Amino acid sequence: MYAIVDIVGQQFKVEQGKKIFVHRLQAEEGATVNFDKVLLTEHEGKVNVGTPYLSGALIKATVLEHVKGDKVIVFKKKRRKGYQKKNGHRQCMTQIHIDEVV
C-alpha cells in the first residue's frame, strides 16, 4: 500500500515504514504529525484518486530529526566583463518516518 501526499507544497510517494526528507516542518523531534492532503492511495491493486484530495485519508508520521542538506554552489559569470559571483546555501530539511497510511 502506498499513497501520494502533499507535504509543504511538494508531492511525495509514501509507504508505511519508510523514511523521507521533506522541507523543514514546524514540529519538535519525536512529535507525531498528520498529513491530510492525500492525492492518491493504492491498496492491493485498487487505486483511489482524489479531486484534488481524498476525504478521510490520513498519513501519520513521526519527526526523527532536523538536518541541513548538501551545500549547493551558485556561480554566476559574465565573460569578458570581469563579473563573477559565487554564493552557496544549505537547505533546511526534516527527516520523518511514516508510521501509518490510513
Reported as a single tens digit per residue, the pLDDT across 32-80 is 999 999 999 999 999 999 999 999 999 999 999 999 999 999 999 999 9
Integer Cα distance of 54 and 49 in angstroms? 7
Q: Cell for 7?
A: 507535504
Q: How far apart are the first and last CA of the chain?
A: 10
pTM for this model (two decimals): 0.83
Cα–Cα distance measured from residue 3 to residue 58, given in angstroms and rounded to the nearest whole number: 10
Q: How far apart are CA 67 and CA 19, in angstroms?
A: 14
Cα–Cα distance for residue pair 36/101, rounded to 1 Å: 10
pLDDT in tens, 8-35: 999 999 999 999 999 999 999 999 999 9
Please give the residue range of the domain that contains residue 20.
Answer: 2-101
- Supply the DSSP symbol for 79: T
Domain count, the chain: 1
How far apart (Å, rounded) are the C-alpha atoms in residues 91 and 80? 33
Query: CB neighbours (10 Å) of residue 101?
Result: 22
